[in-house]
Amino acid sequence: MIHISKEAVNAIKEKYNFDEADKNIRIFIKGFGWGGPKFGITLDGVKENDQIKELDGISIIVEKDLLELYGGFDIDFLDSWIGKDFIVLSAKGESNC
């Protein structure tokens, strides 16, 4: 299961140009911290082992193995005094630090 907040949808649509073909948001592991993996998003094309989910006009893709391992993802957008960034958390509660 994948969820995305309205704030994240708006930020994604502002940051990326979806008028071009084959633009999808990929969830990926961008590193590891004390609390586990740190997830990120990027533009990417669909690959053979991907799961695709359409949410609010955005195609979100993630490798099937990653989706099974972490049980799903929540995507949010944080706009605070320390900066702006996308927050991606797994359904199993791994930390994003």
| Structural contact between residues 94 and 37, judged by C-beta atoms closer than 8 angstroms | yes
Note the pTM of the prediction, 2 decimals. Answer: 0.84
- Spelled out in words, what is the top-level CATH class assigned to the domain 2-90? mainly beta
Q: Count other Cβ atoms within 10 Å, centred on residue 66.
A: 19
Q: In 1-97, where does DSSP find H-type helix?
A: 6-15, 64-70
pLDDT in tens, 3-31: 999 999 999 988 887 666 567 899 999 99
Tokens 């907040």, residue?
5
**Would you list the domain boundaries of the chain?**
2-90
Determine the 3-state secondary structure of 71 from DSSP.
Answer: coil
- The CA distance from 22 to 18, in Å, is 9
Residue 21, judged by CB atoms within 10 A of its CB (0-12, 13-18, 19+), counts as: exposed
pLDDT in tens, 20-66: 656 789 999 999 888 789 999 998 889 999 999 988 888 999 999 99
